Amino acid sequence: MTTVTVRTPAKINLGLNVGRPRPDGYHPLATVYQAIALYDEVKARPAQPGEFTVSVTGEGQDVVPLDDTNLAVRAARLLAKRAKVNEGVALSIHKLIAVAGGLAGGSSDAAAALLACDALWGLHSSREELTGLAAELGSDVPFCLIGGNAIGTGRGEVVSSVLARGSYEWVLAYASTGLSTPEVFAEFDRLDAVRADEEPEVPEVLMSALRTGDPYAVGMALHNDLQPATIRLRPAIRRTIEFGEDFGALGSVVAGSGPTCLFLTADSEHAIDLAVALSSSGVCRLVQRANGPVPGARVVT
Ligand code: C5P
């Protein structure tokens, strides 16, 4: 029986600048994405026409919905509808990416489901077609298809790759429970109520740091406008960040809408040392290491 397997990376935001909400409720963003080598695996197997199922193992398996609200199922249904095919699919997802952790885990699974079903059903959709569907599914989904280093504008769904140097060694500290993205944006609005209306811009200092490939410069340029809001909702994040900084991380930042904390290290040895220290510190639930950038979702069988 045919099975298509797709490996799909977590995303992090090296810079995330957020503007005032638009009339549709979304916030305009200027962000610098990086895909990192922390992967979920999505398998697609044939099913009866109209039958769409999903099973989940691994990180967060008890909190991922298994019904039609699952983003990977929505991706499969959307592709079938737009391609006008009478197909079904049985998806199975093995997760390493934290659920509701600010790492686009669900978005990445959706990107993978698009690719997997496209291959399973022999559709040969173009990149543009898949990216268009990805943008309908969520703001981070197009980037998860593309990967690497990229700038995201609009609500995050308008993605263009950037030329950058270097490979970066990250340590990720997972929190015990996730955060809801809309809740974090709502808290951002409350905190940001007095800020003047301005279009968010990609910080030049981060872009030039990425062009040099110097992890020290990139570490200093990490920035997330949502960080104060995530700390308001989860004050414990502050302790995690402080622990990593005291241990000599080159830079630290909350991942996307949090609550995962990211630390940039000088090399793999430094990353191992920090990961070991964080693991025994009691300031987080779980520690992961990953380097980036890596490509986006890819069929591996
Ligand atoms: O696009 P996505 O479905 O992943 O977004 C989830 C939620 O996060 C949105 O419903 C919205 O509340 C918030 N969001 C936002 N501005 C963005 C992206 C997401 O307010 N640019």
CA distance 232 to 224: 14
Contacts for 76 with CB less than 8 Å, ≥ 6 apart: 44, 52, 89, 91, 113, 114, 117
Is 11 considered catalytic here?
yes
Residues 204, 26: Cα–Cα separation, whole Å: 24
Ligand 1 atom nearest residue 156's Cα: 21
Distance CA(8)–CA(110), nearest Å, equals: 9
Is 24 assigned a catalytic role? no
How many Å lie between the centroid of ligand 1 and the Cα of residue 246? 33
pLDDT tens digits, one per residue of 159-187? 999 989 999 999 999 999 999 999 999 99
Q: Which two tokens stand for residue 11?
A: 């995303």
- pLDDT score recorded for residue 250: 98
Indicate if the pLDDT at residue 129 is higher than 70: yes
Beta bridge partners of residue 94, listed in sequence order:
41, 57
**192: confidence class by pLDDT, cuts 50, 70, 90:** confident
Q: Which one is catalytic: 40, 109, 118, 140?
A: 140
β-strands 88-95, 29-47 pairing: antiparallel
Distance CA 40, CA 205 (A): 32
Residue 1 predicted with pLDDT over 70: no
* d(CA 140, ligand 1 centre) in Å: 9
Residue 195 pLDDT greater than 80, yes or no: no
**What does the pLDDT average to over 210-237?**
97
pLDDT (average), residues 198-207: 92
Nearest CA to ligand 1 atom 15: 26
Measured from the Cβ of residue 240, the count of other Cβ atoms closer than 10 Å reads: 24
Ligand 1 atom nearest residue 106's Cα: 4
Residue type (1 letter), 65 = P
The torsion angles phi and psi of 16, rounded to 5 degrees, stand at: -140, 105
What pTM was computed for the model?
0.97
DSSP 126-166: -HHHHHHHHHHH-TTHHHHHHBSEEEEETTTTEEEE-----
pLDDT above 70 (res 240): yes
pLDDT score of 146 more than 90:
yes
How many angstroms is it from 301 CA to the middle of ligand 1? Answer: 32
> Can you tell me which residue has the tokens 């509701």?
100
User: Residue 301 has what pLDDT?
Assistant: 78
- Of all residues in the chain, what percent are helix, strand and coil, respectively (each to 5)? 35, 30, 35
| pLDDT grade for 198, boundaries at 50, 70 and 90 | confident
pLDDT of residue 194: 56
Ligand 1 centroid – CA 216 distance (Å): 31
Ordered domains of the chain (ranges, CATH): 4-162 (3.30.230.10), 168-292 (3.30.70.890)
Q: What is the pLDDT of residues 40-75, one digit of tens each?
A: 999 999 999 999 999 999 999 999 999 999 999 999
Model confidence at 109, pLDDT cuts 50, 70, 90, reads very high
Which residues is 280 bridged to in the sheet? none
Separation CA 87–CA 68 (nearest Å): 16
- Give me the pLDDT at residue 197, please: 63
Count of CA atoms in the C-beta half-sphere (13 A) of 3: 10
Report the length, in residues, of the chain: 301
Q: Is the pLDDT of residue 199 over 90?
A: no
